Amino acid sequence: MCRLLGLTAGREPINASFWLLDAPDSLEVQSRRNADGSGIGFFDPAGTPVLDKQPEAAFQDEEFTREAKQARSPVFVAHVRWATAGGRTLQNTHPFAMQGRIMAHNGGLGDVGRLAEQLGRYRQLVLGETDSEHYFALIIQQIDAHDGDVGAGIAAAAGWIAARLPVSSLNTVVAAPGELWALRYPGQHALHIIERPAGASMPAAGERRGGPGRVARPQRDIVGARARAAGAALGRRGLGGARR
């Protein structure tokens, strides 16, 4: 299955090269098992999404390496793809951007046609063929229906799909300027989180060795981090119902 990474430093622009390139099980390493595409998403100083992605493996892509070393942002979303729905094209490569937000997905869902019907006018946001991008459009629809609440939108979209469509998994990371949200669904999938206090920018010894360490632990449902003056504050919620 695909692999994805979400990273936030609150309001401070940082570089994510350790997690993307240098860690023992970095996304570059994992791209050898997920070789159908790779991408990095982040926000520029004005808060506009920037996507650097190609339908090729990260370990073979010089642009992935260059962007991983040079990009600085308070928030990153990165992905390496093992294609299951949609061809190996640029439009089908994660992450995706819609209405100022960035998303990547790990998993799959069936009956995309029924999902497309639920999207209504939001269907025009979908540029490729993947179930993932349709899922993102439903998230955007539900964020709007919940007055801009990203966490509530993710919960409602995932809840609608889980109640109506066949699903392998809906694991996703969604970012907006100053916000990062992660969902793991269903429950057998682990969502691992590493938290550090503000200013602790270097990986801990256990992380450098590749071990989970005491700061990595499985979580449930949805976890969100919002920027504040020093670092980011975490919050958690469960799945909800969709609105139209």
Domain CATH code at residue 210: 3.60.20.10
pTM: 0.85
What is the percentage of the chain residues whose pLDDT exceeds 70? 82
Indicate whether 127 pLDDT > 50.
yes
What is the percentage of the chain residues whose pLDDT exceeds 90? 50
CA-based nearest residue to 201, from 72, 103, 78, 80: 72
pLDDT given for residue 209 in this prediction: 45
Q: Express each pLDDT in 133-163 by its tens digit.
A: 999 999 999 999 999 999 999 999 999 999 9
Among 62-76, 151-165, 194-208, which is the least confidently predicted range?
Answer: 194-208
Query: Does any domain span residue 242?
Result: no
pLDDT given for residue 138 in this prediction: 97
pLDDT given for residue 212 in this prediction: 40
Of 219 and 22, which is predicted with more confidence? 22
Query: Does any domain span residue 243?
Result: no
Q: Express each pLDDT in 26-59 by its tens digit.
A: 888 888 887 878 899 999 999 999 999 999 888 9
Query: Does any domain span residue 220?
Result: yes
Total structural domains in the chain? 1
Segment 71-81 shows an average pLDDT of 92
Q: How far apart are CA 74 and CA 102, in angstroms?
A: 13
DSSP E strand stretches across the chain: 3-8, 37-43, 49-54, 75-81, 96-98, 101-109, 167-176, 179-183, 191-194, 216-219, 222-227, 232-237
Range of the domain at 18: 3-237
Indicate whether 71 pLDDT > 90.
yes
pLDDT given for residue 34 in this prediction: 78
Burial grade of 205 (CB within 10 A; 0-12, 13-18, 19 or more)? exposed
Query: Does any domain span residue 244?
Result: no
